[in-house]
């Protein structure tokens, strides 16, 4: 009698549980997007479609300011985090195993393991002392905080790309008298580029959507788009907030889709 391989889909109730999970995950999102096109404020009364809420959000100066600030912070943080993550990935993969390597992995991925609220409180205390000493209150603190938090998100795809590279290509370049810098620029970097781009996009998305760290670190008048939306929700839930959320959802899905295609393994 042939031995049957185990499959979770054959377990009793698997289909019911899977449908329930997908329903709880995606139905609220569909409701949010639908309500962003509603004519009235009421979530229980549907009386037609409109794009007015998108237009009002687009014309709202506070939304414009928060959006621009979010993009500046996310772009700056993704660049810094990706650069640091690339250097860290090269330093931990393109060499022989060494004592303390596991500890370095743990330190790099610390933001992924520690609750975000702990990181936010620690950054608040650290930056507060710097603010008192220097008097500087600019966006530099938010950029630094987001960069530190995003490093492990950029590091993981870059490291995975490096570990999947064929070392014989770099060895061949060295045999052809290429300098280490020439080998890196002409061989390693082009092959690593998809991983770097994927890490940068993931870091950008994480920074753009962050609320907890931003709420603790920001100074007065430095609302990002997520913290602005949270402030609006404390007053009243309006379709304008739904419209902003829908746009963020579309942007996130597009970036994550690009991330998937960049990181998937080709035959």
Range of the domain at 19: 15-50
- On whether residue 209 sits in a domain, the answer given is yes
For residue 91 the two structure tokens come to 């330093």
Do 149 and 27 fall into the same domain? Answer: no
Q: Is residue 9 part of a domain?
A: no
> 72 and 46 in one domain?
no
Same domain, residue pair 30 and 149: no
| 45 and 66 assigned to the same domain | no
Burial class (CB within 10 angstroms; exposed 0-12, middle 13-18, buried 19+) of 224: buried
Band of pLDDT at residue 41, cut at 50, 70 and 90: low
Do 29 and 159 share a domain, yes or no? no
Task: Look at residue 168 and tell me if it is in a domain.
Answer: yes
Top pLDDT among 264 and 255 is at: 255
Count structural domains, the chain.
2
CB of 73 closer than 8 Å to CB of 224: yes
Confidence class for position 1, pLDDT limits 50, 70, 90: very low
Q: Are 35 and 97 in a shared domain?
A: no
Q: Are 95 and 34 found together in one domain?
A: no
Residue 182 falls within a domain, yes or no? yes
> Same structural domain for residues 156 and 238?
yes
Residues 196 and 160 in one domain: yes
Does the residue 130 lie in any domain?
yes
Q: How confident is the model at residue 200 (pLDDT cuts 50, 70, 90)?
A: very high
Within a domain: 8: no
Shared domain for 28 and 67, answered yes or no, is no
Structure-token match 């402030």, residue found: 231
- Does residue 217 carry a pLDDT above 60? yes
Helix ranges restricted to H, 94-185: 101-108, 110-113, 116-134, 140-163, 167-175, 180-183
What CATH code is carried by the domain that includes residue 78? 1.10.3720.10
In a domain, 10, yes or no: no
Residue 14 pLDDT grade (very low, low, confident, very high; cuts 50, 70, 90): confident
Note whether 86 and 26 are same-domain residues. Answer: no
User: Whose CA is closest to 252, among 209, 211, 196, 200?
Assistant: 209
Kindly state whether residue 151 falls inside one of the protein's structural domains: yes
Could you tell me the two tokens for 83? 């650069």
Q: Give the span between the Cα atoms of 217 and 121, in whole angstroms.
A: 8
Task: For the chain, give the percent of residues with pLDDT over 70.
Answer: 90
Tens-digit pLDDT profile for residues 106-160: 888 888 888 889 999 999 999 999 988 888 888 999 999 999 999 999 998 898 8
58 by Cβ neighbours in 10 Å (0-12 / 13-18 / 19+) ranks as middle
What's the confidence (pLDDT) of residue 28?
A: 86
Q: Please indicate, yes or no, whether residues 112 and 213 belong to a single structural domain of this protein.
A: yes
3-class DSSP state of 135: coil
pLDDT tens-digit readout, 238-262: 777 888 888 888 888 888 888 777 7
- pLDDT at residue number 267: 39
Sign, CA torsion 196/197/200/206: negative
């Amino acid at each position: 009698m042939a031995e049957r391989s185990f499959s979770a889909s054959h377990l009793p109730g698997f289909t019911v549980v899977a449908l329930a999970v997908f329903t709880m995950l995606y139905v609220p999102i569909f409701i949010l997007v639908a309500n962003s096109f509603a004519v009235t404020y009421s979530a229980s009364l549907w009386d037609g479609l409109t794009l007015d809420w998108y237009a009002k959000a687009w014309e709202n100066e506070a939304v414009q300011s928060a959006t621009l600030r979010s993009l500046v912070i996310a772009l700056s943080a993704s660049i810094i985090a990706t650069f640091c993550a690339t250097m860290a990935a090269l330093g931990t993969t393109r060499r022989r195993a060494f004592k303390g390597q596991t500890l370095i992995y743990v330190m790099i991925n610390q933001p992924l393991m520690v609750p975000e609220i702990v990181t936010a409180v620690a950054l608040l205390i650290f930056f507060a002392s710097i603010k008192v000493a220097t008097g500087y209150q600019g966006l530099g603190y938010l950029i630094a905080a987001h960069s530190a938090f995003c490093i492990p998100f950029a590091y993981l795809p870059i490291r995975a790309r490096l570990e999947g590279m064929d070392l014989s290509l770099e060895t061949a370049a060295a045999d052809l008298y290429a300098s280490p810098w020439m080998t890196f620029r002409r061989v390693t970097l082009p092959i690593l580029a998809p991983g770097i781009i994927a890490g940068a996009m993931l870091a950008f998305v994480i920074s753009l959507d962050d609320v907890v760290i931003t709420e603790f670190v920001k100074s007065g008048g430095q609302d990002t788009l997520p913290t602005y939306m949270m402030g609006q929700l404390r007053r009243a839930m309006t379709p304008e907030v739904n419209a902003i959320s829908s746009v963020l959802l579309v942007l996130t899905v597009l970036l994550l889709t690009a991330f998937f295609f960049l990181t998937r393994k080709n035959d």
